[in-house]
């Protein structure tokens, strides 16, 4: 080893000749250390001859195994992300929640939302639209939380319940799970390398509820956004990849996996196994329906491969299990009158 320097200072100049066994021993130790560095303990099985504990001790003592060299853009991106994540939480004196509606036109449930709270809605017309919404909402320093909803979303709880549920947890509610099937990892393109590896590729609903620091990170990111813009789109390489389903789940799984919940607080019913979720008509809207939605305490994902694996996780809020959903979609405009009638009842469930 180049950096290994062995110093030997004999007491008497007359005994300079070293025993051969010492030289042999030092050579063997040096060779062992070189081999262990080149072949880390995972693949170098000699240390297991004596004890597996010896491997762990050796692994912690040795320098880390060489990893992939980051690109310049990746280094710059990680510096910005790290600094934002390490920012102290600067709660304003008047913390607010910003509701962001992604809608192609007028909000059909405006009257229902008006019962939920008073606000003036704007129109903005998938990932870039979300970023524009966030950019405008971030202008108000009091906005500490950002909720993306669609024009078919309705509130399942009253405002106070929603405010307390979201404001008093450090988690951002971003849906994220691993789907090995054709509608999950099957959409991945190797053109995203080296920054986005297939093992990190995730899927999730686009309807997020995020903390301010995560909103800032989304706005600061250009590297990963560009990768998804260029290499995750319908009809590319024979795949239909949709950035709104993959960009944020993959992005946050890579940069802050412990900071997200892995489920969305907006309920969507995919039980019909169609390209679009179940749409609720007026005849579907009952007190029992809303009560059932507000009673769900487990988040469920189903993979798109032949196994159709059901992935279930409890909805944990600050360490304890609580109802998962604060909002629901996809309700048709014809349900408005029934919802207005039921609103005072179901929000007190």
Strand partners of residue 149: 101
36 near 44, Cβ under 8 Å?
yes
pLDDT value at 125 more than 80: no
**Residue 199 per-residue DSSP state:** G
Task: Give dist(CA 241, CA 234) in Å, integer.
Answer: 5
Report CA 327 to chain centroid distance, whole Å.
20
Select the more confidently predicted residue: 251 or 92: 251
Q: What is the pTM of this model?
A: 0.72
pLDDT at 140: 92
pLDDT at 5: 39
Rg of the chain's alpha carbons, rounded to an integer? 27
pLDDT value at 63 more than 70: no
pLDDT value at 31 more than 70: no
What torsion, rounded to 10 degrees, do the Cα atoms 27, 29, 33, 35 define?
60
Select the more confidently predicted residue: 269 or 121: 269
Task: Give dist(CA 342, CA 154) in Å, integer.
Answer: 12
**Minimum mean pLDDT among 61-65, 231-235, 273-277, 330-334: which range?**
61-65
pLDDT at 68: 81
Q: Where are the strands (E) in the chain, listed by range?
A: 96-102, 143-150, 154-155, 172-175, 209-211, 234-236, 239-240, 260-262, 266-267, 298-302, 310-314, 316-317, 320-321, 327-328
pLDDT value at 41 more than 80: no
Report CA 254 to chain centroid distance, whole Å.
7
pLDDT value at 251 more than 80: yes
pLDDT value at 52 more than 70: no
Summarize pLDDT for 163-190 with one digit per residue, the tens: 999 999 989 999 999 999 999 999 999 9
């Amino acid at each position: 080893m180049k950096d290994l320097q062995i110093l030997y200072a004999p007491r008497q100049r007359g005994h300079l000749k070293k025993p051969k066994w010492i030289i042999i021993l030092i050579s063997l130790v040096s060779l062992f250390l070189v081999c262990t560095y080149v072949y880390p303990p995972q693949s170098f099985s000699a240390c297991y001859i004596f004890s597996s504990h010896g491997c762990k001790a050796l692994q912690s003592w040795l320098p880390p195994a060489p990893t992939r060299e980051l690109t310049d853009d990746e280094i710059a991106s990680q510096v910005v992300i790290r600094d934002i994540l390490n920012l102290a939480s600067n709660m304003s004196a008047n913390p607010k929640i910003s509701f962001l509606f992604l809608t192609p036109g007028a909000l059909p449930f405006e009257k229902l939302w008006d019962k939920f709270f008073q606000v003036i809605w704007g129109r903005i017309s998938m990932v870039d639209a979300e970023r524009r919404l966030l950019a405008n909402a971030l202008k108000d320093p009091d906005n500490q939380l950002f909720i993306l909803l669609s024009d078919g979303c309705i509130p399942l709880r009253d405002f106070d319940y929603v405010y307390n549920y979201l404001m008093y947890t450090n988690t951002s509610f971003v849906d994220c799970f691993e789907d090995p099937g054709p509608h999950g990892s099957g959409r991945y393109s190797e053109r995203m390398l080296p920054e986005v590896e297939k093992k990190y590729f995730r899927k999730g609903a686009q309807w997020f509820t995020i903390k301010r620091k995560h909103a800032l990170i989304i706005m600061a990111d250009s590297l990963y956004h560009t990768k998804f813009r260029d290499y995750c789109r319908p009809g590319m390489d024979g795949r239909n990849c949709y950035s709104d389903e993959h960009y944020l789940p993959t992005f946050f799984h890579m940069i802050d996996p412990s900071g997200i919940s892995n489920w969305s607080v907006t309920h969507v019913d995919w039980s019909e196994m169609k390209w679009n979720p179940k749409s609720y008509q007026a005849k579907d809207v009952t007190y029992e329906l809303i009560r059932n939605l507000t009673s769900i305490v487990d988040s469920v994902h189903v993979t798109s491969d032949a196994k159709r694996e059901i992935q279930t996780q409890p909805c944990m809020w600050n360490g304890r299990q609580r109802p998962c959903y604060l909002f629901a979609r996809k309700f048709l405009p014809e349900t408005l009158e029934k919802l207005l009638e039921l609103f005072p009842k179901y929000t007190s469930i």
